[in-house]
Amino acid sequence: MKKIVWCVLLLVGVAACNTKKTEAPPKLYTVAQFMDIVQINGGSFSPDDSKLLISSKETGIFNAVEIDVKTGQQTALTKSGDNAIFGYSYFPKDNRVLYGGDKGGNEITHLYVLSNGDVVDLIQDSTAKAEFYGWSYNQKLMYYASNSRDKRFFDLYSVQVSNSTEEKVYPSSVVYKNEKGLNPSAISNDDRYIALSENITTNNSNMYLFDTQTGRSELLSAHEGDVQYNPQYFSLDGSKLIYLTNEGSEFMYLASYDIAAKIKTKLEEAPWDIMYSTSSRNGKYRVMAINHDARTEIKIYDESNGGALLKIEGLPEGDITGVNISDSEKLMSFYVSSSKSPSNLFVYNFETKEVKQLTNTMSKEIASEDLVAGEVIRFKSFDGMDIPSLLYTPKGLKEGEKAPALLFIHGGPGGQTRLNYSPVIQHLVNHGYVILAVNNRGSSGYGKTFFAADDRKHGNEDLRDCVESKKFLATLPYVDMDKIGIMGGSYGGYMTMAALAFAPEEFKVGVNLFGVTNWIRTLKSIPPWWEANRKALYLELGDPFTADSVELYNKSPLFHTDKITKPFIVLQGSNDPRVLQVESDEIVANAKKNGVPVEYVIFPDEGHGFVKKENNIKASEKILKFLDKYLKGE
């Protein structure tokens, strides 16, 4: 967790944030207004380049939508009112559509073919999970992975694609049987080779080459120590595998493996992690994305012009993401977004150099000048380690005015808060809260040493980073140091509860969104389809079936609720397969025994993360009301 250098971010030092200019107070908005945007993602071109298939949340839940490239007119292809649907791709030679969806956030995703109004579920096993892997180069096969045979592992399947849009049955056959947790990552254009990935730990992996002709797998990544390998794609002629690795480096770089000569060659590196690289259908263009200090930096190379870096003029300020080049190599779709603007879809014509914006997703009720841009800052933690964070400061603070502050902790472990538009953050900042999104040690995007710095130290050193951030907040004259709270989702929810249990006097309140509170239960009950990552998780966090359970018990807030003295709110989805509802049920019940004010909001139709607009609005309204009462003190 997949050219132009666009908007390279300048680091903002601590000193730059120590003063606050008096500004006119912004208009106050409701969270419904901040969420009155149209969330969109995806971008698959139709065979004739006339349309784009995307996923849109305009109705309050994601559905598959197609957009006319010339006019921008949108047509809803699905009209689900209960389960989120995500558009994946048109068929290579006709307008049949492939989309995916689960049931109420249970993550059991199925693949569906939509043709002439009829829908066919490709996954007959109701308990199986599936993932779309793309089309063969000759466009005769559809590839997908599914754990139907063994719920622990994902096999690779192929479906013979006919030219009949009346087709009702799509029989599949196994191309690669995954019996050891080696996950398919890339397929060569001649369908002979499959690149496989093996997660050993969260910092260490292997890469294999599976030959469908011989049925044998070859290890390509023999190494010592912690090294990551991430296959990206095969060269056009299938002679080389292009992959990412941090072998001998702090950051992920691009390399190639010559299959015949068995030679590795470094292709490109940056002073940050390269996130992904892709090649257009016939190799004319190469796309590379760099994780540049919480922003995405895209480079597009014209390989037909000696690898020249492509320049696109006339784009709005922001990050380019979601780049997709049509099979004709004439058009490119992409998104532009920033911390003040949600993603908008654009199309670029390589021949005419025309840039066309197809969507305007921001609410017309919100003035741009009332939004707050995030600033990258860094502070020193307890051991001198630099901790990168994103600071959001309310507008309109008067001279000498003090505002409450809230730490915002990402999920993971191993996630990263980035400079994207967040209606939750903008809503809180608009209502007078300083937000500091802490990318504590263990966050991705800052090199492998930083990423591994919290291994087996969760709830301790990463929590100490959060506590140390208060020293930075104390340098801001507009922050009320008596009113500091902490908030997070998933692993960030764990950090919230860990802060309240293990550093009970540091934060005045906590906001826990579906956070882990009992590591022993969570690690024993992870979904079966995580089997390939189970060992890696156990090595990083601890094995609950061994003596590690003692340490897991010690770092689980559920068993230390007697120490919690500060108010908190918990928000939980009933269908969450990762953090079970019982986790939240128990910590709420235990904390209430202390006489601690606790609020609990359950969404019966959500999973791990809330996808329905109405539920997200309700969640944010509950959070603001809670914070205004217990943190701001209104």
The pLDDT tens digits of the residues spanning 318-359 come to 899 999 999 999 999 999 999 999 999 999 999 999 999 999
pLDDT at 13 over 70: no
pLDDT at 485 over 70: yes
Q: Is the Cβ–Cβ distance between 268 and 278 less than 8 Å?
A: no
Which pair of structure tokens corresponds to residue 350?
A: 């390589």
Domain end point (choices 533, 555, 577): 555
Flag whether 594 is in a domain: yes
Q: How many residues does the chain have?
A: 634
Please check whether residues 590 and 507 belong to one and the same domain.
yes
What pLDDT is attached to residue 4?
Answer: 25
CB-based burial label for 616 (10 Å; 0-12, 13-18, 19+):
buried
Flag whether 605 is in a domain: yes
CB-based burial label for 263 (10 Å; 0-12, 13-18, 19+):
exposed
Please check whether residues 182 and 319 belong to one and the same domain.
yes
Phi-psi category of 412—alpha, beta or left, where left has phi over 0 and alpha has psi -120 to 50? left
Radius of gyration of the chain (CA): 24
Query: Quick one: pLDDT band at residue 317, thresholds 50, 70, 90?
Result: confident
Cα torsion angle, 588, 589, 594, 597, sign: positive
Indicate which CATH number applies to the domain containing 605.
3.40.50.1820
Q: Is the Cβ–Cβ distance between 323 and 332 less than 8 Å?
A: yes
What pLDDT is attached to residue 22?
Answer: 56
Flag whether 7 is in a domain: no
Please check whether residues 56 and 93 belong to one and the same domain.
yes
User: Which is nearest to 600 in space by CA: 522, 512, 521?
Assistant: 512
Flag whether 540 is in a domain: yes
Flag whether 244 is in a domain: no
Flag whether 222 is in a domain: no
What pLDDT is attached to residue 529?
Answer: 85
Which of 6-10, 100-104, 374-378 bottoms out in mean pLDDT, i.e. has the lowest?
Answer: 6-10
What pLDDT is attached to residue 634?
Answer: 74
Q: What's the average model confidence in pLDDT over 129-155? A: 96
Please check whether residues 327 and 453 belong to one and the same domain.
no
Please check whether residues 163 and 88 belong to one and the same domain.
yes
What pLDDT is attached to residue 226?
Answer: 94
Please check whether residues 577 and 478 belong to one and the same domain.
yes
Element (H, E) at 627: helix 613-627
Which of 288-292, 342-346, 403-407, 527-531 bottoms out in mean pLDDT, i.e. has the lowest?
Answer: 527-531
Beta carbons within 8 Å of 401's beta carbon, 6+ residues apart = 478
What pLDDT is attached to residue 169?
Answer: 84
Beta bridge partners of 406: 435, 485
What pLDDT is attached to residue 521?
Answer: 94
Query: Quick one: pLDDT band at residue 2, thresholds 50, 70, 90?
Result: very low
- Scored b (16 or more CB within 10 A) or e, 420-452 reads bbbbbbbbbbbbbbbbbbbbbbbbbbbbbebbb
Domain end point (choices 354, 385, 416): 354
Q: What is the mean pLDDT of the chain?
A: 92
CA distance 148 to 449: 37
Please work out, in degrees rounded to the nearest 5, the angle formed at the alpha carbon of residue 365 by the alpha carbons of 394 and 38. 95
Give me the domain span that covers residue 284.
Answer: 37-208+267-354
Question: Based on the structure, what is the number of domains in the chain?
Answer: 3
Indicate which CATH number applies to the domain containing 95.
2.120.10.60
Beta carbons within 8 Å of 347's beta carbon, 6+ residues apart = 52, 69, 331, 332, 333, 355, 356, 358
pLDDT at 21 over 90: no
Please check whether residues 132 and 188 belong to one and the same domain.
yes
Please check whether residues 75 and 187 belong to one and the same domain.
yes
Please check whether residues 489 and 529 belong to one and the same domain.
no
pLDDT at 9 over 50: no
Please check whether residues 408 and 523 belong to one and the same domain.
no
pLDDT in tens, 25-39: 899 999 999 999 999
What pLDDT is attached to residue 619?
Answer: 96
Domain end point (choices 555, 577, 605): 555
CA distance 28 to 427: 9
Q: What's the average model confidence in pLDDT over 530-537? A: 84
Tell me how many helices (H) and strands (E) the chain has: 10, 36
What percent of the chain has pLDDT above 70?
A: 97
pLDDT at 10 over 50: no
Flag whether 198 is in a domain: yes
Q: Is the Cβ–Cβ distance between 290 and 297 less than 8 Å?
A: yes
Of residues 6 and 599, the one with the higher pLDDT is 599
Flag whether 124 is in a domain: yes
3-state SS class at 8: coil
pLDDT at 495 over 50: yes
Please check whether residues 448 and 575 belong to one and the same domain.
yes
Q: What's the N-to-C CA distance of the chain in angstroms?
A: 41
Please check whether residues 180 and 112 belong to one and the same domain.
yes
User: Which is nearest to 346 in space by CA: 43, 133, 81, 564?
Assistant: 43
pLDDT in tens, 235-281: 999 999 999 999 999 999 999 999 999 999 999 999 999 999 999 99
pLDDT in tens, 368-398: 999 999 999 999 999 999 999 999 999 999 9
- The crossing angle, in degrees rounded to 10, of helices 423-430 and 613-627 is 30
